[in-house]
Structure 1
Amino acid sequence: MKKIPLIAISAFSINAFAQPVIKNGDNIPAPGLSVHVQFATTTVVGNPGTNQTWDFSSLSFTSMGTVDVIAPAASPIGSSFPSCNYALSLAGQNSYSFFQASSDKIEVLAWTISSPGYGNDYSPNPRTILKFPFNYLDSENDTWQKVGGSVNNVTVTYDGYGTLVTPTITYNNVVRVKEDYGGGGIDYQWYILNPLMAVAIFDHNFNRLYHFGATQTTGIADQNNLQMQAGIYPNPAADFVTVTNIPNGSTIKITDITGKTVYSSVITNEQTIISTTEFVNGVYFIQVESNGSFANRKLVVNK
């Protein structure tokens, strides 16, 4: 499987059938989020266009395990990618991927590597996977290069939006992105708006469709309501942050960029105020858990 990340996208839509616009990478996945990965063999990827239905419900998927979002510092090789601001780990394996999200793009720094300088280490020329803003039919040309490899080209196109159907979950208001490597090599990724990540990837090298989801009873689809409703303000925060629209009995955990927990509590009100006076300036990740569903938010403390 190639260098296709679980990346964060921020979107705006007027209604369920309006065109989603990928605006920025502010809501990159927060450490603590985990997804179950499955794959199925297929050569059928559906059509481009508006209000499409990509139905893969008849495919037979095989489990591959779990992918965890981690803080870069939590990886034993994270220090080799100092500009990285989020990373992925394939649970139970020494395999890590690193990404850099900025105001105008998200780049892959390395994909499923165990040691820097080997495999899919793109340090010489990281590959841009999204530029912001990204509208329907927009394209972006980019070059990328592995350590010790030649320069390669890719054209990334936002080629459709609609509904994605898998055997366990149906996703609405999905964005499909096409990656054309030339010579007939074309991959596709499907992104949901909440929790702002890719939930399906087609890899032409293996004719495989990868589903980054979960079972029928837990996982990404069940997180949508909580993820969309939970709010935080002010952000950036100085002395306090207010978390709103969360069910009674939810657990709130705040971690810093190293993955260290700096706050944890069970909430008894739908709105709670958390003091940040003892937090140092920097980026934090807020995770709200309620009955197996999660909401993730990025918080900036600036006093």
Structure 2
Amino acid sequence: MKKIYFLAISIMAFQTMNAQITLTAANNNPSVGNSFTMNYYDANTVTPGSSGANITWNFASLTPQSTLTGTMVNPSTLSDGSNHPASNIAAEDASTGNQSYIFVDGDEYSMVGAFSPGTFRDTYTDIREFVKFPITYGNSFNETFSGTSNNIAASQTYDRGGTVAITADGYGDLVLPYGTITNVLRVKTITLYSDGQGGVPFINYEDTSYFWFNASTKYTIMSWTILNMGGFSTVKTGMYLDQSSVITSLGDDFIPNNPITIYPNPVSNNQTTILLDKLYENTQLQVIDITGKVVKIENVAATSKNITLNLDGLNKGIYFVQILHNNALVSSEKLILN
């Protein structure tokens, strides 16, 4: 069940000092049509790190174990949408059929319910808040939520209710396996809730989660969660934003580990994007075929780290993209044209 909640919350030069950022509904709430890819990692191998100002959270050693691809849709288009009338946007993982029903407005990003075919359905009458807006370092909020959880396979329904404490407890740089994302805000949530029947709780949960955001992305960049289920078991789960989603959404707040990154690669529509690690002056981009012949040359403007590369006229095959700065080779990356 934890993965379906991650589906919901996922859709939210090095500097010695970072500017404090503020998350806002306008910049951080998702819209219908947004999509993203997240990588699951083994959360038992790392800790969430320290809170505070100008922190560097280093998760460069993470290894992806599986992926989740989500798309934001109109709730009415989903099979369980009628059971969550308060939802105004939903997230669906097409590979599993898991659905998260969400309410967004100028003040919050909240869970209305969740559905996993043949497994469970959660419905909140007092919706479950994940993020309040605006939020910046040092802000904190306390909320309550209540509803029901239906174990579909066992034909059992439980009452669910609890509290959530939301705190923006740190800001700084986030280091992931493919690069560094600067100016991020970490939001910590502590959710205490219970399941029961007839007013009698029979299992208590404690969910402590950490989410890293930047000021302009519609989904969390990374998450780490530990869920204690009544003292019977403890589960840790973590995800981070795939590099493909980073390239298309983070812009100048992303510093790749390599001087250049090519996405998509392989290329299937004769157009790709070259992302530089920083702004360069007096820079040239060259495309070279496997015989060593230069087949394309472009001068790079010093005002952008993103270069749209058109490959019309080139045959399918393997090429190398080279960046030359002041006539010196900065980097060379292989490109495959399908």
Aligned counterpart in structure 1 of residue 218 of structure 2, from 182, 188, 196: 196
Q: Within 5 Å, give how 1:136-147 maps onto structure 2.
A: 136-147=137-148
Aligned counterpart in structure 2 of residue 77 of structure 1, from 77, 80, 99: 80
Q: CA deviation at 1:49?
A: 0.8
Q: Is the 8 A contact 1:29 1:69 kept in 2?
A: yes
Partners of 1:86 and 1:225 lie apart in 2 by: 26
Relative to its length, the structure with more strand (as a share) is: 2
Is the partner of 1:221 in helix, strand or coil? helix
TM-score, normalization: structure 2? 0.58
In the alignment, is residue 209 of structure 1 matched against residue 238 of structure 2?
A: yes
Structure 2 CA distance for partners of 1:162 and 1:122, relative to 1, 3 Å: farther
Q: Is the 8 A contact 1:6 1:199 kept in 2?
A: no
Partner residue of 1:33? 35
CA-to-aligned-CA distance 1:100-155 (integer Å, 9 cap, x gap): 1122222111235337xx83523222111122222211111111224132321121
C-alpha RMSD of matched pairs (Å)? 3.1
Q: Within 5 Å, give how 1:1-303 maps onto structure 2.
A: 1=2, 3-4=5-6, 5-6=8-9, 17-25=18-26, 28-30=29-31, 31-42=33-44, 43-114=46-117, 119=120, 121-147=122-148, 148-181=158-191, 185-205=207-227, 206-211=235-240, 213-215=241-243, 218-225=244-251
Q: Is the 8 A contact 1:72 1:87 kept in 2?
A: yes
Q: What amino acid is the match of 1:170?
A: T
Partner residue of 1:272? none
Structure 2 CA distance for partners of 1:37 and 1:86, relative to 1, 3 Å: farther
Q: What amino acid is the match of 1:224?
A: L
Q: CA deviation at 1:26?
A: 5.9
Q: Does 1 or 2 have the higher relative contact order (CA < 8 Å, sep 6+)?
A: 1
Is the partner of 1:219 in helix, strand or coil? helix
Q: Is the 8 A contact 2:28 2:219 kept in 1?
A: no
Q: What amino acid is the match of 1:197?
A: Y
Structure 2 CA distance for partners of 1:75 and 1:226, relative to 1, 3 Å: farther
Is the partner of 1:59 in helix, strand or coil? coil
Q: Is the 8 A contact 1:122 1:144 kept in 2?
A: no
Structure 2 CA distance for partners of 1:56 and 1:138, relative to 1, 3 Å: same
Partners of 1:185 and 1:170 lie apart in 2 by: 27
Partners of 1:210 and 1:88 lie apart in 2 by: 16
Give 5+ residue unaligned stretches, structure 1: 10-15, 228-248, 251-289, 292-303
Q: CA deviation at 1:25?
A: 4.5
Q: Is the 8 A contact 1:142 1:155 kept in 2?
A: yes
Is the partner of 2:124 in helix, strand or coil? coil
Partners of 1:41 and 1:224 lie apart in 2 by: 24
Q: CA deviation at 1:23?
A: 3.0
Q: Which has the larger radius of gyration?
A: 2
Q: CA deviation at 1:38?
A: 2.2
Number of equivalent positions: 222
Partners of 2:111 and 2:179 lie apart in 1 by: 27
TM-score, normalization: structure 1? 0.64
Q: What amino acid is the match of 2:217?
A: P
